[in-house]
Amino acid sequence: MSMLRLLGAVVASLLIAGPALAQTAGPLTPDLVEGFIVSVRDLQEVGKKYDGEGLMNPNMSLDEGMERAAAPFSAAIAQIQGHEAYGEMRAVIERHGFSDVQQWALTGDRVMKAFVANKMGAEMPQMDAQMKQALEQIENSNMSAAQKETMLQMMQSSVQMMGAYADVPEADKAAVAPFMSTLESLGQH
């Protein structure tokens, strides 16, 4: 499963469709990561109840999509604050030891960034080779100059998005590392 698809699946399962690294007070610990994972499982049940009613924006722009990919849980909280599911979500989140929805969202943003950074670190050699191959294909294609420019801009956006994961603290990556398969499985439900 691709990283973007996994992220989308996790976000969608939570009723959720700044580029800056989200920070919570204190370190990201294994206990905090585990608490987040357990809360996500319970929130998936809330999500089933509402079946995404009015929570997702199907007309999202590319910039909005990239912002959500960089901070999916914070962006989602901002989007659903007025929805009837918000109170239920808040109760689930607080039941799992988070002080408020914002702390939970920032923790989720950090967990997902560390997850993606860990996956990218393992797959970086293949990603670099694929990027070089794609650039060569664009350059050698029969596309017009305008089409090539559009493709190159899209690739540049992808590279920038990947660069956002380069600054994930090593401590965050280490805290998330034991939960990689669990986090991946969350996107499959």
Q: What is the pTM of this model?
A: 0.68
What value does the mean pLDDT of the chain take?
76
**What is the arithmetic mean of pLDDT over 61-89?**
73
Report angle CA 93, 96, 98 to the nearest 5 degrees.
Answer: 65
Cα–Cα distance measured from residue 96 to residue 84, given in angstroms and rounded to the nearest whole number: 20
Q: What is the pLDDT of residue 80?
A: 80
131 part of a folded domain: no
Question: Residue 144: inside a domain, yes or no?
Answer: no
Answer whether residue 42 is part of any domain. yes
Per residue in 125-173, pLDDT (tens digit) is 677 777 788 888 888 888 888 888 888 888 777 776 666 677 889 999 9
Please answer whether residues 134 and 51 qualify as being in contact, where contact means their C-beta atoms are separated by less than 8 angstroms.
no
Establish if 161 belongs to a structural domain: no
Structural domain span for residue 30: 3-120+170-186
Number of domains present in the structure of the chain: 1
Q: What is the pLDDT of residue 6?
A: 40
Whether 79 is covered by a domain: the verdict is yes
Q: Is residue 140 part of a domain?
A: no
Question: Which tops the pLDDT comparison, 114 or 64?
Answer: 114
